[in-house]
Amino acid sequence: MSLLLHLFALSLLISVSGAKFSGRPGINYGQLGNNLPSPSDSVNLIKSLNAKRVKLYDANPKILAALNGTDITVSVMVPNELLVNISKSASLSDDWIRSNILPFYPTTKIRYLLVGNEILSLPDSELKSSLVPAMRKIQRSLKSLGVEKVKVGTTLATDVLQSSFPPSSGEFREDISGLIMKPMLQFLNRTKSFLFVDVYPYFAWAQDPTHVDLDYAIFESTNVTVTDPVTNLTYHNLFDQMIDAFVFAMKRLGYPDLRIWVAETGWPNNGDYDQIGANIYNAATYNRNVVKKLAADPPVGTPARPGKVLPAFVFALYNENQKTGPGTERHFGLLHPNGTQVYGIDLSGKMEYKESLPAPDNNELYKGKIWCVVAKGANWTQLGDALSYACSQGNNTCDPIQRGGPCQKPDLTVLHASYAFSSYWAQFRKIGGTCSFNGLATQTIKDPSYGRCEFPSVTL
């Protein structure tokens, strides 16, 4: 090799090995909707948001094929229900990689493989104890099958921490700290992977809006700061505070330098009447600000890790109408299912926003009566089972819609279901009952009572 060629090869090696790891956030692509664009249209929409990374909640072959040949790096996921079996079987782990990764790698830029989603928040003890063994099996399968560029991890919700305030007190829950987190951190450290965490200032603020400042939660605070009394680090937003609680929790177990990846963060653009602060103004403000922070060059980092890149995925690409739970769950999207933006947003962090946003109208808790009724567009064929379930719970939940009752209308299943939903919710809301019924129900502040038929309500 000539000296000139040698120098060229050396300079190429240096430039490749020193390639900058970008903080520009990617997007979470959930698929729990019956009205979402096709995978190929979705990939074009992802590009239109200037996202360079995408995270899937499975290894959907149609989506992976649509991402083939693009410059978008991809994170895929092993479904929760496979973990126990994979943890016990190297051949099953190999088969999963052969079926789901090898047909697409490397022309689809799969770079991250997450083993399960928020496993340590679930009650299943066998599933939890299978997590790290499954991660090890998947890692070995990737190596033995020649897949070299894929990092293995798993996602954690903030409830894995038993202490998070002040951030320096960050500590993993006692039931998982030694048995699961320590070997997991050892694995992630050895494989140079990341701790993938789901961080939602929205939920932390909504649980205590009296004591947590909204502007502090959406990166708009000019005069609210929090100083950690142990480290003297000063925090200007809730997001940094939540991230650093994980930093100190890892430090406590002997892993002070393991990198963090924000697997999910976002803010809902709508929700139920009993959900505070879920609106377009707050969602746009939070997401624009978090993108600007994450994409900053040079990187900003957090008080405990200043100047460090913090990679992330914003949640989510679409409002997904088949997600269960409270209304916010169906309203985290940057896009409507028809592909239009809920509000102007760009993931490069470089866009200047000139549009005026609708003023927020629910930043304070709603006070008054709320009812739970059949949602517009609900699948009527599923109402019978939901009605039966609601009526089987509690005391005399559905007596008024029985034969001879003041609310009985033999031919109006929708009316009976609305009564049952309201009656169930009025009884069970205080202990965690929701007005959801797998997306069949919605909240209303318009009293559905008629004649002698009075619908039970929740009063806030």
Q: List for the chain the helix, strand, coil content (%; round to 5).
A: 40, 15, 45
pLDDT at 4: 45
Domain ranges of the chain: 26-335, 369-459
**What's residue 395's pLDDT?**
84
CATH, domain 26-335, list 3.40.50.10800, 3.20.20.80, 3.40.228.10, 3.40.50.1980: 3.20.20.80
pLDDT in tens, the chain (460 residues): 444 444 444 444 443 444 578 899 999 999 999 999 999 999 999 999 999 999 999 999 999 999 999 999 999 999 999 999 999 999 999 999 999 999 999 999 999 999 999 999 999 999 999 999 999 999 999 999 999 999 999 999 999 999 999 999 999 999 999 999 999 999 999 999 999 999 999 999 999 999 999 999 999 999 999 999 999 999 999 999 999 999 999 999 999 999 999 999 999 999 999 999 999 999 999 999 999 999 999 999 999 999 999 999 999 999 998 898 888 999 999 999 999 999 999 999 999 998 899 999 999 989 999 999 999 888 888 898 999 999 999 888 999 999 989 998 877 889 999 999 999 999 999 998 999 898 899 999 999 999 999 999 999 8
pLDDT, residue 18, reads 45
- Selection from 69, 89, 172 nearest residue 134 by Cα: 89
d(CA 254, CA 24) in angstroms, rounded, equals: 29
Pairing of strands 73-78, 53-56: parallel
Among 118, 171, 220, 454, the one annotated catalytic: 118
Is 264 designated active site?
A: yes
> For 256-276, what is each residue's pLDDT tens digit?
999 999 999 999 999 999 999
Per-residue model confidence (pLDDT) at position 396: 87
Contact (Cβ atoms closer than 8 angstroms) between residue 92 and residue 98: no
User: Quick one: DSSP state of residue 427?
Assistant: H
Q: Is 450 helix (H, G, I), strand (E, B) or coil?
A: strand
Q: How many residues does the chain have?
A: 460
Set 126, 148, 174, 264: catalytic member:
264
Measuring CA to CA, how many Å separate 13 from each of 9, 42, 97, 149, 151?
Answer: 6, 35, 30, 17, 22
Give the global pTM: 0.91
What b/e string do you get for 83-108 counting C-beta neighbours within 10 Å, with b at 16 or more? Answer: bbebbeeeeebbebbeebbeebbeeb
371-419, pLDDT tens digit by residue?
Answer: 999 998 888 888 989 999 999 998 889 999 999 899 988 778 899 999 9
Strand partners, 65: none
Q: What is the structure's pLDDT at 340?
A: 97
The pLDDT value given to residue 452: 92
In the residue annotation, 118 being an active-site residue is answered as yes
Whole-number pLDDT of residue 11: 45
| Residue 20: DSSP 8-state | -
Q: How far apart are CA 272 and CA 443, in angstroms?
A: 6
